[in-house]
Amino acid sequence: MVLGSPGAGREKGARIVLSFVLPDVPIQKLKSITLYAVVNGVALPPDTYSKTGEYRYSRDLPPSFFTAEKMNVDFHLDKTIPPSTGDLRELGIVVSAIGFENK
């Protein structure tokens, strides 16, 4: 996905944030899920989650990340529940918000 660069990012850096819920079914079947982000081609450190609940993945980014008006941001899970005949979606997390915060 493409996000607009935060206004203060060039001077102070910013924080990339993904708010999400990890439901029961993926944890029951997969036991844990590891999430990481890639921002403008740079992989950020992962976090692993092994309990259901609400979470917030965030990483501080230095000003050097914010050289353009738009940022390419991708989030990845190490595993998901594959689609089935009853549900054609891959199942993992339920995202509620994605964006940048000022530091």
Q: What residue numbers bound the domain in which 33 lies?
A: 2-102
pTM comes to: 0.91
pLDDT over 90 (residue 7): no
Q: Are 63 and 10 in contact (CB under 8 A)?
A: yes
Domains identified in the chain, total number: 1
Cα torsion for 3, 69, 78, 95, to the nearest 10°?
Answer: -10
Q: Which DSSP category does 77 fall into? A: E
Mean of the per-residue pLDDT values of the chain: 94
Rounded Cα distance between 16 and 66, Å, is 12
Q: Give the CATH number of the domain where residue 16 resides.
A: 2.60.120
Beta pairing, strands 47-49 & 42-43: unpaired
**What is the pLDDT, as a whole number, of residue 56?**
98
Token pair, residue 103, equals: 């530091």
